[in-house]
Amino acid sequence: MKILLGELQDSVSPLTKRTTLGDLSIEEFGDKQTPVTISIEVHPRGDDFELSGRIRARLETVCDRCLATAKAAVDAEFNFWLLTEERPDLSPGEVEYLLIPNTREIDISAPLAESLRLEIPSKVLCREDCRGLCPRCGTDLNHKQCTCDAEKIDERWSQLSDLKKRMESE
Protein backbone atom coordinates (compact mmCIF):
# COMPACT_ATOMS: atom_id res chain seq x y z
CA MET A 1 0.00 0.00 0.00
CA LYS A 2 1.43 3.31 -1.06
CA ILE A 3 0.84 6.65 0.52
CA LEU A 4 1.60 10.04 -1.02
CA LEU A 5 3.97 12.24 0.91
CA GLY A 6 1.74 15.20 0.12
CA GLU A 7 -1.10 13.35 1.81
CA LEU A 8 0.93 13.14 5.02
CA GLN A 9 2.00 16.76 4.86
CA ASP A 10 -1.55 18.07 4.44
CA SER A 11 -3.26 15.38 6.44
CA VAL A 12 -6.00 15.99 8.91
CA SER A 13 -5.60 13.09 11.36
CA PRO A 14 -6.77 10.47 11.45
CA LEU A 15 -6.41 9.41 7.86
CA THR A 16 -8.74 6.50 7.05
CA LYS A 17 -7.67 4.07 4.34
CA ARG A 18 -9.54 1.12 2.93
CA THR A 19 -7.36 -1.43 1.26
CA THR A 20 -7.02 -5.19 0.77
CA LEU A 21 -4.77 -8.01 1.91
CA GLY A 22 -3.43 -8.22 -1.65
CA ASP A 23 -2.40 -4.58 -1.56
CA LEU A 24 -0.49 -5.21 1.68
CA SER A 25 1.18 -8.31 0.15
CA ILE A 26 -0.37 -10.56 2.80
CA GLU A 27 -1.07 -13.88 1.14
CA GLU A 28 -1.31 -16.36 3.99
CA PHE A 29 -4.37 -14.99 5.80
CA GLY A 30 -7.09 -15.00 3.19
CA ASP A 31 -8.20 -13.94 -0.23
CA LYS A 32 -6.43 -11.01 -1.85
CA GLN A 33 -9.71 -9.08 -1.94
CA THR A 34 -10.25 -9.31 1.85
CA PRO A 35 -10.93 -5.75 3.03
CA VAL A 36 -8.59 -4.05 5.47
CA THR A 37 -9.36 -0.79 7.25
CA ILE A 38 -6.53 1.41 8.46
CA SER A 39 -6.77 4.49 10.59
CA ILE A 40 -3.56 6.52 10.61
CA GLU A 41 -2.60 9.31 12.96
CA VAL A 42 0.10 11.42 11.35
CA HIS A 43 2.50 13.24 13.65
CA PRO A 44 4.99 15.51 11.85
CA ARG A 45 8.43 15.37 13.51
CA GLY A 46 10.47 18.02 11.73
CA ASP A 47 11.03 16.64 8.23
CA ASP A 48 10.08 13.17 9.47
CA PHE A 49 6.73 11.64 10.35
CA GLU A 50 5.61 9.35 13.09
CA LEU A 51 2.64 7.22 12.06
CA SER A 52 0.49 5.42 14.57
CA GLY A 53 -2.97 3.96 14.49
CA ARG A 54 -5.00 0.83 14.05
CA ILE A 55 -5.37 -1.75 11.32
CA ARG A 56 -8.40 -4.08 11.19
CA ALA A 57 -9.31 -7.10 9.09
CA ARG A 58 -11.04 -10.46 9.28
CA LEU A 59 -8.27 -12.93 8.64
CA GLU A 60 -8.38 -16.61 7.83
CA THR A 61 -6.48 -19.02 9.98
CA VAL A 62 -6.86 -22.60 11.16
CA CYS A 63 -9.37 -23.83 13.76
CA ASP A 64 -7.57 -24.89 16.91
CA ARG A 65 -9.88 -27.91 17.34
CA CYS A 66 -10.70 -29.28 13.88
CA LEU A 67 -8.06 -27.67 11.62
CA ALA A 68 -10.71 -26.26 9.25
CA THR A 69 -10.49 -22.66 8.07
CA ALA A 70 -11.50 -20.26 10.82
CA LYS A 71 -11.92 -16.49 10.70
CA ALA A 72 -10.56 -14.13 13.30
CA ALA A 73 -11.30 -10.42 13.58
CA VAL A 74 -7.93 -8.79 14.12
CA ASP A 75 -7.52 -5.26 15.41
CA ALA A 76 -3.86 -4.31 15.71
CA GLU A 77 -2.04 -1.17 16.74
CA PHE A 78 0.98 0.09 14.87
CA ASN A 79 3.60 2.75 15.32
CA PHE A 80 6.50 3.54 13.03
CA TRP A 81 8.45 6.44 11.65
CA LEU A 82 9.09 7.65 8.14
CA LEU A 83 12.56 9.18 8.08
CA THR A 84 14.07 11.43 5.43
CA GLU A 85 17.54 10.22 6.44
CA GLU A 86 19.16 7.77 8.84
CA ARG A 87 18.96 8.94 12.45
CA PRO A 88 21.87 7.66 14.56
CA ASP A 89 20.07 8.90 17.69
CA LEU A 90 17.30 6.36 17.11
CA SER A 91 18.79 3.06 18.15
CA PRO A 92 17.71 0.07 16.07
CA GLY A 93 14.92 -1.83 17.75
CA GLU A 94 13.75 1.23 19.64
CA VAL A 95 11.58 2.45 16.78
CA GLU A 96 10.57 0.87 13.54
CA TYR A 97 11.18 3.07 10.58
CA LEU A 98 11.17 3.29 6.83
CA LEU A 99 13.39 5.66 4.91
CA ILE A 100 11.42 7.94 2.65
CA PRO A 101 12.63 7.34 -0.90
CA ASN A 102 13.32 10.12 -3.31
CA THR A 103 9.81 9.97 -4.75
CA ARG A 104 6.41 11.39 -4.01
CA GLU A 105 5.03 8.18 -2.59
CA ILE A 106 6.14 5.58 -0.12
CA ASP A 107 5.13 1.94 0.35
CA ILE A 108 4.11 1.43 3.98
CA SER A 109 2.86 -2.17 3.56
CA ALA A 110 5.65 -3.91 5.47
CA PRO A 111 5.17 -2.41 8.97
CA LEU A 112 1.37 -2.54 8.62
CA ALA A 113 1.38 -6.19 7.57
CA GLU A 114 3.76 -7.04 10.39
CA SER A 115 1.53 -5.49 13.05
CA LEU A 116 -1.47 -7.42 11.69
CA ARG A 117 0.47 -10.71 11.69
CA LEU A 118 1.56 -10.21 15.29
CA GLU A 119 -2.04 -9.84 16.48
CA ILE A 120 -3.44 -13.08 15.02
CA PRO A 121 -4.77 -14.97 18.05
CA SER A 122 -3.08 -18.30 18.57
CA LYS A 123 -6.33 -20.10 19.44
CA VAL A 124 -9.16 -19.54 16.97
CA LEU A 125 -12.26 -21.70 16.60
CA CYS A 126 -14.20 -22.14 13.33
CA ARG A 127 -17.34 -21.74 15.46
CA GLU A 128 -17.91 -21.51 19.16
CA ASP A 129 -19.31 -25.03 19.48
CA CYS A 130 -16.79 -26.72 17.18
CA ARG A 131 -16.72 -30.38 18.17
CA GLY A 132 -13.17 -30.88 17.02
CA LEU A 133 -11.47 -34.06 15.93
CA CYS A 134 -11.93 -37.35 17.75
CA PRO A 135 -8.79 -37.81 19.86
CA ARG A 136 -8.88 -41.55 19.16
CA CYS A 137 -9.55 -41.88 15.41
CA GLY A 138 -9.18 -38.31 14.07
CA THR A 139 -12.69 -38.09 12.58
CA ASP A 140 -13.96 -34.52 12.21
CA LEU A 141 -16.89 -34.69 14.62
CA ASN A 142 -18.55 -31.64 13.03
CA HIS A 143 -19.26 -33.70 9.92
CA LYS A 144 -19.43 -37.27 11.04
CA GLN A 145 -19.86 -39.25 14.21
CA CYS A 146 -17.27 -41.94 14.70
CA THR A 147 -17.88 -45.05 16.77
CA CYS A 148 -15.29 -44.29 19.49
CA ASP A 149 -17.87 -42.41 21.57
CA ALA A 150 -20.47 -45.12 21.06
CA GLU A 151 -18.03 -47.69 22.45
CA LYS A 152 -17.53 -45.50 25.49
CA ILE A 153 -21.29 -45.21 25.97
CA ASP A 154 -21.61 -48.99 25.56
CA GLU A 155 -19.08 -49.42 28.35
CA ARG A 156 -21.07 -47.11 30.60
CA TRP A 157 -24.31 -48.93 29.79
CA SER A 158 -22.80 -52.26 30.58
CA GLN A 159 -21.53 -50.93 33.90
CA LEU A 160 -25.03 -49.65 34.63
CA SER A 161 -26.67 -52.91 33.76
CA ASP A 162 -24.11 -54.76 35.90
CA LEU A 163 -25.07 -52.48 38.77
CA LYS A 164 -28.76 -53.09 38.09
CA LYS A 165 -28.19 -56.86 38.09
CA ARG A 166 -26.27 -56.63 41.34
CA MET A 167 -29.03 -54.55 42.96
CA GLU A 168 -31.67 -56.98 41.79
CA SER A 169 -29.78 -59.96 43.14
CA GLU A 170 -29.34 -58.35 46.58
136 binds Zn ion (CB under 5 A): yes
Q: Minimal distance in Å, beta carbon 148 to Zn ion?
A: 3
Query: Residue 133, interface with Zn ion (CB under 5 A)?
Result: no
From 137, 150, 160, 163, residue interacting with Zn ion (rule: CB under 5 A): 137
Among 36, 74, 126, 133, binds Zn ion (CB under 5 A): 126
Q: Minimum Å distance from CB 146 to Zn ion?
A: 3
Alpha-carbon span 18 to 13, nearest angstrom: 15
126, 72 in Cβ contact below 8 A?
no
Nearest to Zn ion of 110, 134 (CB atom): 134
Label the pairing between strands 48-62 and 35-45: antiparallel
Residue 23 near residue 30, CB atoms below 8 Å: no
Neighbouring CB atoms inside 10 A of 76's CB total 19
Site residues, Zn ion (CB under 5 A): 63, 65-66, 126, 130, 134, 136-137, 139, 146, 148
